Amino acid sequence: MDEIRIVARPRTESSRSSKSDLREIPIAKPLLGDTQGQVTTFRKQINKLNPENLTTICSEISVFLEKSAADIAVKQTGIQNQLIQIDQGLAKVDERIEKQNLSKYCSEMSKLETMQSRTEKLSKNLHDLARSINNINMKLPEDKRLPPLKF
């Protein structure tokens, strides 16, 4: 902010008449120093560094990176432990669901087996009844007989 930069030049009479003059197009310039990641400012600072300071800075950066790596490793381990706990919890939930489904399945199978045995007994009784009715029907005179029952 040492200097004021002019973004657009005032128009003159000649610029109004010439629409194709590229010098008259306003140009946007940075207001707060250099852009592009402050490259030139960074370059100026690098030129000010001496080898003694550079070694110190590199060692500080190295220590910082090692500490950061250790922190990241601790956090990753924590996350991994949390994932293991979540997996174990989900496994327990799945096991409970399986047990509930299995008990429901066993209960339904038991009901089906009971119904099957009752149906078989009922079918046998109906066949016996039809045979008895047909035997009685055969003992009646022919003009009073019913058509034979079949199952």
| 1-58 pLDDT tens trace | 456 555 555 555 554 555 566 666 665 555 555 555 544 555 566 666 677 777 888 8
Average pLDDT over the chain reads 79
Q: Which residues contact 59 (CB under 8 A, 6 or more apart)?
A: none
Q: Tokens at residue 121, please?
A: 């007994």
pLDDT per position as a tens digit, 63-88: 999 999 999 999 999 999 999 999 99
Give pLDDT, residue 5: 56
pLDDT per position as a tens digit, 91-129: 999 999 999 998 889 999 999 999 999 999 999 999 999
Q: How far is CA 4 from CA 9, 31, 130, in A?
A: 13, 8, 115
What are the b/e assignments for 36-54, b being 16+ CB within 10 Å?
eeeeeeeeeeeeeeeeeee
* Reported pTM: 0.40
- Is 149:130 a contact under the CB 8 Å cutoff? yes
Give pLDDT, residue 1: 46
The domains of the chain are located at: 14-137
